[in-house]
Chain A
Amino acid sequence: MPSVSSGHALDLEKFLKSLKGQPLEASINSLISLLKRRQIKGSEPCAVATAHILLQVVARSKWHDVDSLLINVSRTGRKLVDAQPNELVIGNIVRRVLGLIRDEASEDRGDAGDESASDAPTPTDIVPPAATSQQWATRRLDSANSAAPAARPPIVSSYSSINPPKSLFHLLSTSPPADGDVSPFRNSGASTPTWRGNSSQIHALRSEVIDGIEEIKDEISQVDDQIAASAEVQIHPGDLVLVHQPSTTVERFILRAAQKRKFTVLIAVAPPRRHSAEGQHATFRKKLSAAGITVVNVMNGGLMAYMSRVNKVIIGARAIVATGGVVADAGAAAIARAAKEQGTAVVVLSGVYKLSPESPFDESSLIEWGDSSTFVSFADGPLVSGAEIRTALTELIQPELVDTYITNLGTHSRDHLSSLISDHYKREDADFHIWEEAEP
């Protein structure tokens, strides 16, 4: 269920409360186990928790220059990503924070436009020492997961995609031949001599980065409101709008439109599960009815029958990958395909923080598998031992099936996503989770 049930919200709250009283290591470890146990789940809670823990890393971990801060943040980030690789938002927030640190560091030195890279240090002196990585590896709590990083292949080649040129002119540009083989810590490394030991500068950087993370947190909390602002443009009077298992974002969007417009909402619900409460999305239905909107629940099965009358399909994204593919609740892809078949517009709602710069190299790794006991009672011995029952919680909607993406920054087409990505993430951070994989 995308809408956060009270138990999970409680876990997030509890975790956020515990942050102050605990040492940093303990907080990180407790977040990792919360993520692994899916006690914090869903894009927004994961994003909020990640932002909080990174703020703690910036505020409380030991660092004496920009490089060590970047290393601290990326290490913590990697542990979180490993704990729950399905939640792409975790990686997104880590990349945002890394980019923020780079920006602040280069501003402080008064050379915002350091694209020339003329003072780049040699890559060898800024590679994180193997000793610390080793130490970190042994610190892991959950030994069962320690096999996971090994599955990801190490980067061997000298030319990494970390710091590639942007413009076509790069081929002929004036920068020295040092390019093409640069560490991700390039920008900050240039500052090393002046930075080390200068506590006032470090203090200033620390508070600036913390401010920046606070801004990211604000952004996450305002996303739903900002997306809802375009509701009136998208939903017209008399429309028949189909939503699929509405998340809070989608609910806010529909309710905003309901303030001014009269339309009909079809809610496609998942097939009923055991233990599930009677009447799915009951509170949402009540609010809509109060606003005078007709609401119809439809079973996810016979959607093609309704689709010819539907004007718009609205889907809340869990994450969007770089190609425009949308990770959404299972069942959404079938709806999107049915809509495409009938020429119905498919609108995806998502905060920019859910837009990931990762390409879906392996689609199957994005799918989250759920608890099949919601369908089959564990007491049903013959079935439990005789059949394998799987239930996918998410699936990838192919980008061809999506017409419009609405984010907190406005309405976008698929081709525009790449510029959103380059606005929000730094290229050198795109692969932060595999930087250190050369280690044994």
Chain B
Amino acid sequence: MSEPEAAVAQQTTELPLRSQPNDSTFDIVATYRDLLASDPDLTKPVAAIESLIALLNTVPSTTVYETLDTVKSHSDLLKASVDNPLPLQAGTDLFLQYLVASLKQQDGSFDAVRQHLLRNGRLFASRAIAARNGIAEAGWRFVREGKCVLTHGASRSVTGLLERAAKNGEGKFRVVYVRDEVRAEESDRVVKELRSKGIPVAEIPEAAVAHVMGLLRQVHMVFTGAEAVTQNGGIISRIGTYQIAKLAAQAKIPFYVAAETHKFVRKFPLDQRDIGYKQEVLDFSSTGPSKQPKDAVDYTPPELISNLVTENGVHLPGYVFEQLLDIYGSLNG
């Protein structure tokens, strides 16, 4: 696992606080992209947090409020640099709130908080990865012998959970994988990975989902990941999730979402139009083929979700609200 330079620096140096006092040259967007590219295990919220830590490393420690302002402005920069800001917002909000909360607790010992953050950059990342194992541990018992799981996308939480269930020795469950022909390579990779663990996989096209669910007792549950979990317990996830959830609800098949708690975000989508950014899925054209956005997402409302499987256990969608209220105190994003 290769580590980004910034992280190495902050881990090895004892007191790297005032090493690079030039704020203007720090490019948070590039840092974020480097981090994501260098470590395939990193999730977007955690990469955002790591970038902000790298930012703290470069700016001089002046006053608390100045630092908070810098963090805020760079968070906004970061969010503006990507199409879908929600996963990042989960990370940046958490980071900012952590700063504020720990300053309140520790009598304003700002340097102590800073040093803690700067020194433990890698720890946070490893905790985030441990959280994924925690999800597998919390949820694999849903996948019992003789069951059949339908999934799509390339959620690492879901594949981790399925692999954990396969490791159980029984390995007698089956997986229906919904292929995404736009991302044939990714689908091939996930299917290959699952098959390498001895899991029988049936690949189906997206158009066959309703039919397969209609074959009685052939699919017992749906597992899917999420890019972000909204405060009402819904999820923002790879496009296609919503229709699978709707079909599952129609067929009375339980729909489980495997997501780490650091993906919880203060956002209350009202419907598909309100996913937090502008996404042009409809491209009307009479001359050429329509264009599709690259990483399109959709919103799955909490009514369609049976349970959230987090590293803290299996919960109802209402759990998100409790947890967010617990640390933010209010929910006005």
Contacts and interface: CB of A to CB of B under 8 A. Distances in A.
Contacts of B261: 168, 170-171
A165 to B, nearest CB: 7
Contact of A159 (B46, B133, B324): B133
Contacts of A415: 316, 318
Interface stretch (A77-85, A172-180, A276-284): A172-180
Interface in A383-418: 414-415, 418
B133 A157 contact: yes
B236 interface: no
A46 to B, nearest CB: 23
Given A159-B133, A177-B123, A415-B316, A164 B94 contact: no
Nearest to A173: B98
A171 B128 contact: yes
Contact of A168 (B130, B306, B324): B324
Contacts of A361: 141-142, 144
A172 B144 CA distance: 34
Given A171-B262, A359-B307, A361-B141, A165 B327 contact: no
Contact of B134 (A155, A159, A168): A159
The 4 closest A-B pairs by CB, nearest first: A415-B318, A159-B133, A361-B141, A359-B314
B322 interface: yes
A305 interface: no
A322 to B, nearest CB: 7
Contacts of B94: 168-169, 171-172
Nearest to B99: A172
Interface string B286-326: 00000000000000000000110001111110110011101
Nearest to A177: B123
B92 to A, nearest CB: 12
B262 A168 contact: yes
A156 interface: yes
6 contacts: A153-B169, A164-B311, A164-B313, A323-B316, A418-B315, A427-B313
Contact of A167 (B95, B141, B323): B323
B218 interface: no
Contacts of A323: 306-307, 314, 316
Interface residues of A, number: 33
Contacts of B133: 157-159
Contacts of B142: 361
The main secondary structure of chain B at its interface with chain A is helix
B313 A157 contact: no
B127 interface: yes
B98 A157 contact: no
B34 interface: no
Most-contacted residue by chain A among B101, B124, B136, B311 (CB, 10 A): B311
Nearest to A430: B313
A169 B262 CA distance: 9
Interface of A: 153, 155-161, 164-172, 174, 177, 179-180, 322-324, 359, 361-362, 414-415, 418-419, 427, 430
B226 to A, nearest CB: 15
- Max chain B Cβ within 10 angstroms of own Cβ: one of A159, A324, A419: A159
Give the interface size bracket for B toward A.
35 or more
A322 B137 CA distance: 17
A171 B124 contact: yes
Interface in B248-303: 261-262, 264
Contacts of A172: 49, 94-95, 98, 117, 124
B211 interface: no
Given A153-B170, A159-B134, A180-B130, A168 B326 contact: yes
Interface in B103-154: 116-117, 123-124, 126-128, 130-131, 133-134, 136-138, 141-142, 144
A430 B311 CA distance: 14
Contacts of B318: 415, 418
A172 B127 CA distance: 9
Nearest to B93: A168
B179 interface: no
Nearest to B167: A156
A324 B130 contact: no
A167 B327 contact: yes
Nearest to B260: A171
A235 to B, nearest CB: 28
B164 interface: yes
Nearest to A365: B144
Contacts of A159: 130, 133-134, 137
Contacts of B73: none
A164 B134 contact: yes
A174 B306 CA distance: 33
Nearest to B143: A361
